[in-house]
Structure 1
């Protein structure tokens, strides 16, 4: 019995009690909350529904709890219900109801854990959005792993999600990039405010190859050629490296489209209609201080040029016009000051910043070897890039390592640890269970042991301390998905998988839980039941790893 099934059972029992007592059924919630008690001795699940409804219904909560306990005791799958404190319900499931979960998981397959909890939400999730002036550095790599995992989580929880990369192909940093390419092609030092690194020389050479006569042009024309082709080449390289990392975006949005498509003026007109735009010293301002910003923001400078903030406004409005009711933007550690102005901007458009806009800040990442951080890239020169990171760890370990920690905490990634084939390497620990469960299934098949018909499965035979612990962990998976999606924290999935892996390792190591028969032992119904549990474990591990963009190997 899954938590959702049990919640439905508790709510159904509450309805029966209310109808029998003539209480107002309109007071019943849409769903009942059931949770794992902190102390396993208190039961399999606990519910506070009697406390939640008692006063509203005019009934002493403990009295209502007693009536609910009696009604629940008559329901299939419920072994016992005890009342604790002022009216908590501690619920124990019978062995068959608990064991049936193994069959439910296997039959559901990839669908196990999916929910409609976030159905109806249209989320635009923007992440990475690194400037096309160099390879993706390690900070962007963190957002690539976390953002992609979050998009998978949100979709699994029922939300409609559009992932987006903001391609900043306008502005002064692109000018510096073009000048740097031109200097490299001429064999000159990089401009003082330009970009260095071997990749600049590589891109410059590729531009010359694509446009052989570029160096015969005057500097202005040559710089424009290097800008046009160089940005295109650099962004193609960024997309290629992200794709190899398993990250693909639904939309690549060009900043130029804001400038050339009239979207900046449209945003200004909308903000002016809302009454928050004013003129001062020849410039056009947005009065964001009305909504908590520390100062008002310039949208258009006195020389007529648009500001970066104006582009931010236009881009936000464009997302909202495309039907996204929630805009989520993932930014680096140096963008804390960005939050106040963006929240105020959303309010200036007439939106609710607490509902329509979320800004997530990620902290720094260090790649460490022998206790010392790696700071230099072979190509980029000054930072560690996505390619460096993958070369050091591999895609699976890199993605898992970055998604395993809360993104608002700085982390050190130890190369030696994350490439080690041992249980102290978290991704190895989890993937080993994926491989072991697959190996058990292969060995069982060689011995003639198969799951057989689902109707012949006897869940009541799944009764053992280690079995119960594993079943309880597997049962938590749907709740972990919902919690991780709502909190925007994929790291809960990784930590959960490690818990499941630990429970499986302990189950597997117990001689009383041996799945395949030994020697001349005949295959019996308990072997079959344990094989269902083994395969259910692989299903959950594989589903959870897929949410993180990590493979579930069948052999290691």
Structure 2
């Protein structure tokens, strides 16, 4: 499944077996232990792979690294490894060069696996939750949610491709102060419809957005003035129930448009209704981490490295957000059995990383099972200027506004072009540009160009054959081998992206692969007099088309056949 890993594993096995023979020859004290590094070479002049095994064990062997390397190489049998040669370099590194069979195997493997090429099983079915976006259901989603959505969704796809059992989750804050403020806001707007704006004061902490007015008008259209004379508490409960439902439906609609579908929408109210928040605080108290002060319950957070203790339950009897968050994360690990949880948050949530892990440790849950991806801010740029307001609405630009203005493919690609912890400028003009300057257009054009090549040649009776029936040894130019080398690295790129929680590796890979294809196509005529070479180059085109389609599919970006 992973050509690079297969070669690395075969090299490691051959080196260990060679070291065992060297021990029998008396040239080494002990055989190599698994775990030494074998990595792809950054510079092609040095070879394809390099290992530090000799430098790592030189002290234990009582010899200089180059002497250890030579002892192993003298006994090395490369049969079945796809490696053609090995040589000592520098202070004791060993470089390996693959033979042509490796390149042929890559093209054949892609043809054999098709859309499954790139998928590996390193995750071994471990249960992983990726929680992302989790926007408050009190208004439209903003640019941070747009970036977090693209990153979180793509990361989940990458982990799935690595063999993890992945769940996408959206946490809905449908309780607490923000929901109370929404209820008060809806109540004021509803009453103003019947009593006039001057007769009903709008709460200072209320939400002034047009969406609140719309929810109030919608409810009035459905139920008339039925709540005007109702008790305030009843009126707020019914209005906020309606408002939350409509807001969440709108979120789901907008996210579906953005190609994001969550496996579960988890409601904060579930934790309260089930008694899970109280149960979590009681557990912390039994473990000796809670004390009472001024009528409130406090968590001994300083025992776990934090600067100050944290209130968990206020003197008025209400639980704090922190208490609810700790209960929610306990629910993820204990109640639902996730092996690992990844929270995708804005950079302003850095403090949560320490506070959440402290809470888990106090509960007896390994805090190392909780990871975070923290995103920096996004600036929208148009005509060289920062854009903050929608020209159409005059309000802050929402996710829906963005998707009205630019292609969805561009949004998902652009938001994944930078690592999450890097601030990014999103160029709105570039996102709609139909030229090679636009990165997503450039990648999609490469796919469409290959489709056009194959279609045009098929019309002339020159059709792509299964790679197993083609003489791929004819692919020998630097451009051909460079392209195949990149094709072979695709599964490894996914593995690295999963390990680093970094979907930007995939957009960079897609651009690099597209560039390599264009270089190949400009240097090598696909349609040529040599029918065997033509068939081999057609197979290479087909393999490239498949991998481009696979990486775009991983990012939920379309792979057009015509542009």
Q: Identify if the C-alpha distance between structure 1 residues 426 and 214 changes in structure 2 by more than 3 Å, giving closer, same or farther.
A: farther
Deviations 1:455-506 (A, max 9, x none): 3222211110111111121222122111111111111111111111111111
Q: How does 1:291-310 map to 2 (within 5 A)?
A: 291-310=304-323
Q: 2:234 aligned with 1:221, yes or no?
A: yes
Q: Identify if the C-alpha distance between structure 1 residues 249 and 466 changes in structure 2 by more than 3 Å, giving closer, same or farther.
A: same
Give the superposition deviation at 1:59.
5.8
Q: 2:90 aligned with 1:85, yes or no?
A: yes
Counterpart position of 1:198: 210
Aligned-partner SS, 2:373: strand
Deviates more, 1:46-55 or 1:488-497: 46-55
Counterpart position of 1:497: 510
Contact 1:13 1:68 in 2 (8 A): no
Give the superposition deviation at 1:331.
1.2
Query: Pairwise CA RMSD of aligned residues?
Result: 2.2
Counterpart position of 2:5: 4
Contact 1:365 1:412 in 2 (8 A): yes
1:550 is aligned, of 537, 540, 557, to 557
Q: Distance in 1 between matches of 2:44 and 2:303?
A: 51
Deviations 1:305-348 (A, max 9, x none): 11111101110111011111222111113222222211211211
Q: Identify if the C-alpha distance between structure 1 residues 380 and 255 changes in structure 2 by more than 3 Å, giving closer, same or farther.
A: farther
Deviations 1:349-375 (A, max 9, x none): 12232x221122111112221122222
Q: Identify if the C-alpha distance between structure 1 residues 97 and 357 changes in structure 2 by more than 3 Å, giving closer, same or farther.
A: closer
Contact 1:286 1:297 in 2 (8 A): yes
Q: Distance in 2 between matches of 1:420 and 1:181?
A: 42
Aligned-partner SS, 2:343: strand
- Stretches of structure 2 that go unaligned for 5 or more consecutive residues are none
Counterpart position of 1:46: 50
Counterpart position of 2:456: 443
Deviations 1:205-251 (A, max 9, x none): 22223333444343433222211111101111001101110111111
2:250 is aligned, of 237, 240, 243, to 237
Contact 1:78 1:91 in 2 (8 A): yes
Deviates more, 1:196-205 or 1:299-308: 196-205
Counterpart position of 2:38: 34
Aligned-partner SS, 2:40: coil
2:545 is aligned, of 516, 535, 538, to 538
Aligned-partner SS, 1:123: strand
**Structure 1 segments (4+ residues) deviating >6 Å:** 23-26
Deviates more, 1:144-153 or 1:318-327: 318-327
Aligned-partner SS, 1:153: helix
Q: Using structure 2 for the length normalisation, give the TM-score.
A: 0.92
Counterpart position of 1:177: 182
Q: Identify if the C-alpha distance between structure 1 residues 72 and 41 changes in structure 2 by more than 3 Å, giving closer, same or farther.
A: farther
- Stretches of structure 1 that go unaligned for 5 or more consecutive residues are none
Q: Distance in 1 between matches of 2:393 and 2:331?
A: 34
Q: How does 1:231-270 map to 2 (within 5 A)?
A: 231-270=244-283
Counterpart position of 2:527: 516
Aligned-partner SS, 2:39: coil
Q: Distance in 2 between matches of 1:479 and 1:453?
A: 24
Q: How does 1:257-336 map to 2 (within 5 A)?
A: 257-321=270-334, 322-336=336-350
Contact 2:107 2:484 in 1 (8 A): yes
Q: Distance in 2 between matches of 1:516 and 1:419?
A: 34
1:528 is aligned, of 513, 525, 535, to 535
Give the superposition deviation at 1:119.
2.3
Aligned-partner SS, 2:107: helix
Q: 2:343 aligned with 1:338, yes or no?
A: no
2:223 is aligned, of 211, 214, 233, to 211
Aligned-partner SS, 2:379: strand
Q: Distance in 1 between matches of 2:16 and 2:470?
A: 32
Contact 1:3 1:34 in 2 (8 A): no
Give the superposition deviation at 1:397.
0.1
Deviates more, 1:296-305 or 1:141-150: 296-305
Counterpart position of 1:359: 372
Q: 2:66 aligned with 1:62, yes or no?
A: yes
Aligned-partner SS, 1:463: coil
1:125 is aligned, of 111, 127, 130, to 130
Q: Distance in 2 between matches of 1:404 and 1:80?
A: 37
Deviates more, 1:84-93 or 1:489-498: 84-93
Counterpart position of 2:499: 486
Q: Distance in 1 between matches of 2:182 and 2:391?
A: 19
Q: Identify if the C-alpha distance between structure 1 residues 122 and 112 changes in structure 2 by more than 3 Å, giving closer, same or farther.
A: same
Q: Matched residue pairs, number?
A: 548
Deviates more, 1:421-430 or 1:269-278: 269-278
Counterpart position of 1:18: 19
Q: Distance in 2 between matches of 1:423 and 1:214?
A: 59
Q: Distance in 1 between matches of 2:68 and 2:218?
A: 76
Give the superposition deviation at 1:150.
0.5
